[in-house]
Structure 1
Amino acid sequence: MFKQFTENINANQAYLLFSLGIFFVFFIVVAIMLIRIRKSHVDHMSDLPLHDSDTETPQSLQL
């Protein structure tokens, strides 16, 4: 099946196939990273904005 696609490739089609390949590789890498991430790390990162606002004073927020 892929042999039929690669036999008659023009220059423009090569760019399209290359960009499609980059997209799939990026998508697979991100999916693997999301599967392997630890829940404790996600919880820590989601709590950062909440803990950061506790240390700010109202004077530091004024323009």
Structure 2
Amino acid sequence: MFKQFTENITASQGYLLISLGIFFLFFVVVTIMLIRLRKEHVKHMSDMPLHDGIKEPQKHKKL
């Protein structure tokens, strides 16, 4: 099946197939990295903007 398909490919179609392969490979690699990512690392990274070392102003109490 692939032999018949690849025999009739012109140069411009080859570039399209190569770019499609790179696109597909990129998302497969990113998906594998996300699956293997530790949950503790995700929690730490999501909390970083909240704990940047700057003290928050104290809220004024109503009298």
Q: What band does the TM-score fall into relative to the shorter chain?
A: 0.7 to 0.9
Give, in whole Å, the separation in 2 of the partners of 1:50 and 1:20: 39
Unaligned runs of 5+ in 1: 59-63
Deviation at 1:56, TM superposition (A): 5.7
Larger Rg: 1 or 2?
2
Normalised by the length of structure 2, the TM-score is: 0.80
Taking only the aligned residue pairs, the percentage that are identical comes to: 74
Moved over 2 A (4+): none
Per-residue displacement from partner, 1:19-48 (whole Å, max 9, x unpaired)? 011011101100100000000000000000
Give, in whole Å, the separation in 2 of the partners of 1:50 and 1:26: 31
How big is the alpha-carbon RMSD for the aligned residues of Structure 1 and Structure 2? 1.7
Deviation at 1:4, TM superposition (A): 2.0
The structure where helix makes up a greater share of residues is 1
Normalised by the length of structure 1, the TM-score is: 0.80
